[in-house]
Amino acid sequence: MILTRRFYIILILIILLLGSGTVYDPLFVIGQWALFIFFLAVLADGYMLYCIRGIQAFRQCSDRFSNGDENAVSIRVENSYPHPVSVEVVDEIPFVFQQRNICFRTELQANEGKSISYNLRPTSRGVYGFGRIRVFVTHKIGLLSRRYTCGESLDIKVYPSYLMLHRYELLAISDNLTEMGIKRIRRVGHHTEFEQIKEYVKGDDYRTINWKASARRHELMVNIYQDERSQQIYNVIDKGRVMQQAFRGMTLLDYAINASLVLSYVAMRREDKAGIVTFDAHFDTFVPASKRSGHMQTLLENLYAQQTTFGETDFSSLCVHLNKHVTKRSLLVLYTNFSSLGSMNRQLAYLQQLNRQHRLLVVFFEDAELKNYIATPAKDTEGYYRHVIAEKFAFEKRLIVSTLKQHGIYSLLTTPENLSIDVINKYLEMKSRQLL
């Protein structure tokens, strides 16, 4: 039982009324009657609240959350009292959100139920623990409040952004992937895998005419080619300290994991095989490339608990272990970050080694906040110096791209928010140019 604010206000007024009776006797009598009525009202209010257990509440949400996305949570509150009540619902959300304002007030009529919805946006992967649901019920009299403890404690796993996968899947079904920013890549030359021979129809490329088949059938026949399939795509994710930089509440590692899942999904839709490699000071996780049913769930399970470390990454260990585990030539999409040209040069020999055995695409990040700062005009001498330094860092990023290109290594410099779209476009471009 909880005494409400109304209870204390009325009680204070009665005390003041009784105290005034020392000056004017009739006020003391009035105060006694007011105290008696107040006592009866408290008893009536308590009876109305405690005669039955009149409130039930339970939480409805997905059994897993998507990192970086808005995840819906719903609380259903049902009133079994034969009279209207006011309720205040407090949901004990995971402490990692650092929110203490998940509190909702509403009115429930007799035998009525309502659903209360809100969204949570996690910015890190792992296990999040929900507590109980606290419901505070007040009758119209409003002197007492009864607390109900409802629902059960619940642990939710936060996975990489699988909601993004659903959006891509729906757009792929409707053939509207361009809405997400994915470009339509013009095909260069012919595909490498023969599919079938069919009759020539107006508009077919005359260069694909099969003259031998045409002579046998006494009509024009053309060869049909398709994308080369079953190529291996490995997302290689750096988990070192360089991936701890945050952007909009999420680390670069989180963005890399989300992008790798989307790329794996798109690759598997195109009949390629997708795999995952993570590394830091040691070679860590390895999921062989596959396109079998349920492989996306395997990738999710292996990625949702990955965390960055404070140490330097060992590219030599990556080269050694990739040689052991990946024997077939594959596309390696390496997600890392180079702060300067010098840091890239220290790893250049290992990047060249990987590129000799596979097709390597190095993906690293452009500092979006630094880019916005450069776009703002300088206002004083100190501002000019800061702009010069900022432009030097931005120039080094572009110089890294140029240096990698000189050594025959493909690279992609992008911002975290555009990472997924840019990586998919690069993959489609390389596939159309038969570079895999």
Give the separation between CA 298 and CA 289, rounded to whole angstroms.
Answer: 11
Residue 211: the pLDDT is: 87
Q: How many CB atoms lie within 10 A of CB 178?
A: 10
- Region 351-361: mean pLDDT is 93
Homologous superfamily (CATH) for 1-159: Immunoglobulins (2.60.40.10)
pLDDT category, 368, cuts 50, 70, 90? confident
CA distances to 23, 182, 281, 290, 401 from 276, rounded to whole Å, are 86, 23, 17, 10, 24
pLDDT category, 294, cuts 50, 70, 90? confident
pLDDT category, 163, cuts 50, 70, 90? low
Residue 188: the pLDDT is: 43
Asked if pLDDT for residue 189 goes beyond 50, the answer is no
Residue ranges, comma separated, of all CATH 2.60.40.10 domains in the chain are 1-159
Per-residue pLDDT tens over the stretch 88-134: 999 999 888 877 778 899 999 988 999 999 999 888 888 889 999 99
- Region 17-35: mean pLDDT is 87
- Region 416-421: mean pLDDT is 86
Let me know: does 156 contact 63? Beta carbons within 8 Å.
yes
Asked if pLDDT for residue 172 goes beyond 70, the answer is no
Give the separation between CA 400 and CA 103, rounded to whole angstroms.
Answer: 50
* Tokens linked to 182: 């994915």
Asked if pLDDT for residue 198 goes beyond 60, the answer is yes
Per-residue H/E/C for 252-310: HHHHHHHHHHHHHHHHHHCCCEEEEEEECCCEEEEEEEECCCCHHHHHHHHHCCCCCCC
Least confident stretch, 156-165, 208-217, 296-305, 349-358: 156-165
Least confident stretch, 17-26, 49-58, 331-340: 17-26
Residue ranges, comma separated, of all CATH 3.40.50.410 domains in the chain are 162-186+228-432
Say which CATH topology domain 162-186+228-432 has: Rossmann fold (3.40.50)
Mean pLDDT of the chain: 85
Let me know: does 277 contact 319? Beta carbons within 8 Å.
no
Asked if pLDDT for residue 138 goes beyond 80, the answer is yes
Per-residue pLDDT tens over the stretch 299-344: 988 888 888 888 889 999 999 999 999 989 999 999 999 888 888 9
For residues 310 and 346, which has the higher predicted lDDT (pLDDT)? 346
Residue 228: the pLDDT is: 55
- Region 255-265: mean pLDDT is 90
Residue 127: the pLDDT is: 86
In 3D, which of 325, 329, 353 has the Cα closest to residue 409?
Answer: 353
Q: Look at phi and psi of residue 6 and say left if phi exceeds 0, alpha if psi is from -120 to 50, else beta.
A: alpha
Residue 95: the pLDDT is: 85
